[in-house]
Structure 1
Amino acid sequence: MTADARPEADPEARGLRLVAVLLGLTVVSGLIDAVSYLGLGHVFTANMTGNVVVLGFAAVGAPGFSIPHTATSLACFLAGALLGGRVAVRYREVSRRTWARVTLAAEAVLVGASAAVAFAAPGATGTVYALIALTAFAMGLRNATVRKLGVPDLTTTVLTMTLTGLASDSRAGGGTGHRSPRRTASVLAMLAGATIGAWLVVHRDLGTPLLIAAVAAGVLAAVTSGRE
């Protein structure tokens, strides 16, 4: 077997590279935060930086914010991240591809369950808490996985450091700008997801963007490789 043939035979190399998959997941994050912030009482379930700030707003009684909603999101996100850490211990030394697929499939199931709840009981008292819990847990699981996969500049949920790097490492900032395309793509992916999600929440319902997010996560789980 030649050196050129080896990558084709490597199971880790089969499928869509992780960079493309993580950009797709960034779009999903935009969809989910559009649902949670616009439709679930000004709470984030993907962006925990924003959630900590929202908790501060709620603590002083700012209108439109809820301590129980925000605390539920934070607690479920942390529980998901804890499970994500355990999954990483189980799979990361065996197969990166399998590890990514397992966690993304779990995310698809959790977000799909949230879509089912949103369609089945849109006005029920417990629906808001169910959607917060399911999506926050899914995002915690995914964030733990993405963090441990360690693909540079693609966190899928937080853009502060991405934007900082985009500016400070640019040629205008004295850097080489060699990761600018990836960083720019990440910002645009989040913007696209948030825009689509917001339109669907405002003009349709909460279930539709969640269903789209679940299908997207499921497709990405099926096609991802273990390679960057």
Structure 2
Amino acid sequence: MSEQSGTGTKPADDPEARGLRLVPVLLGLTVVSGLIDAVSYLGLEHVFTANMTGNVVVLGFAAAGAPGFSVAHTLTSLGSFVVGAMAGGRVAVRLGSGSRRTWARLTLAAEAVLLGVSAVVAYAAPGATATAYTLIAVTAFAMGLRNATVRRLGIPDLTTTVLTMTLTGLAADSRAGGGPGTRSPRRTASVVAMVVGAGAGAWLVLHQGLALPLAIAAGLVAVLAVAASGRE
């Protein structure tokens, strides 16, 4: 007698289980977010394209006339992110009721293409005003698309772009905070992944320019797109 799951499908034959589970995929994407924000903040006049919480604060700085900040750049990032999130929501409506593996892979493939385009633009026309706006718009759109997808996937403590609630949960739910200490490894890994991505991205921006970290980010997301499964 063959062993079958409750749905009548052998676990070994379940296509959703093929590939890398989504938790390590999302940790990899968190590294990419650190890379992207290093590129945008250090290389594009102190604007974020992955972390929109920080971007709203930056908009306030820019509006107040603080030196080194741009209202136009920040609004471009916020607007592009929102449009990307809308597109991600549309994709989720269309694909979210089907295979999570297919949905995740297609969305990540789109992000990889967008980041690859950004790398080409940064390499072809470094320092141009149009290049700055293009990089901001395209990377922010890609991050909005991804965030909408990650939100719909609903995997706890792995937003891939912001850490405020992750750090809150890590502290409040710790044994020192009177909690059970659950999910601490996942939350800690998320913080470490962001720091690693930001540190690596900052070094690359300072020593190699913008094209290389964008190309590395695109390559990493492409690998994750090919490898992702539909399982947490």
Please tell me the TM-score bracket, short chain as reference.
over 0.9
State the match for 2:75 in structure 1. Answer: 71
Which residue identity lines up with residue 2 of structure 1 in the other structure? E
Distance 1:52 1:164 in 2: 20
State the match for 2:135 in structure 1. Answer: 131
State the match for 1:43 in structure 2. Answer: 47
Which of 219, 222, 225 is 1:221 aligned to?
Answer: 225
Alignment pair present for 1:22 and 2:26: yes
Structure 1 unaligned blocks of 5 or more: none
Which residue identity lines up with residue 210 of structure 2 in the other structure? L
Which residue identity lines up with residue 10 of structure 2 in the other structure? R
Distance 1:82 1:152 in 2: 22
Q: Which digits, 9 at most, give the CA deviation of each residue in 1:26-71, with x for residues without a partner?
A: 0000000000000000000000000000000001100000000000
Which residue identity lines up with residue 191 of structure 1 in the other structure? V
Which residue identity lines up with residue 183 of structure 1 in the other structure? R
CA offset at residue 164 of structure 1?
Answer: 0.4
Distance 1:101 1:16 in 2: 11
Distance 2:43 2:11 in 1: 45
State the match for 1:180 in structure 2. Answer: 184
Distance 2:172 2:226 in 1: 36
Q: What TM-score does the superposition give when structure 2 sets the normalisation length? A: 0.97
Which of 205, 209, 212 is 2:216 aligned to?
Answer: 212
State the match for 2:120 in structure 1. Answer: 116
State the match for 2:157 in structure 1. Answer: 153
Residue 201 of structure 2 aligns to a residue whose secondary structure is helix
CA offset at residue 123 of structure 1?
Answer: 2.2
Q: What TM-score does the superposition give when structure 1 sets the normalisation length? A: 0.99
Which of 139, 143, 147 is 2:147 aligned to?
Answer: 143
Distance 2:154 2:227 in 1: 19
CA offset at residue 8 of structure 1?
Answer: 1.2
Which residue identity lines up with residue 124 of structure 1 in the other structure? A
Distance 1:182 1:84 in 2: 25
Structure 2 unaligned blocks of 5 or more: none
CA offset at residue 3 of structure 1?
Answer: 3.4
CA offset at residue 125 of structure 1?
Answer: 2.1
Alignment pair present for 1:3 and 2:4: yes
State the match for 2:111 in structure 1. Answer: 107
Which residue identity lines up with residue 11 of structure 1 in the other structure? P
Q: Which digits, 9 at most, give the CA deviation of each residue in 1:109-138, with x for residues without a partner?
A: 000000000000002220000000010000
Alignment pair present for 1:199 and 2:200: no
Distance 1:107 1:8 in 2: 29
CA offset at residue 176 of structure 1?
Answer: 1.0
Alignment pair present for 1:162 and 2:163: no
Alignment RMSD (CA, Å): 0.9
State the match for 1:83 in structure 2. Answer: 87
Of the structure 1 ranges 167-176 and 181-190, higher mean CA displacement relative to structure 2 is found in 167-176
CA offset at residue 100 of structure 1?
Answer: 0.3
Once the two structures are aligned, what percentage of the paired residues are identical? 75
Residue 129 of structure 2 aligns to a residue whose secondary structure is coil
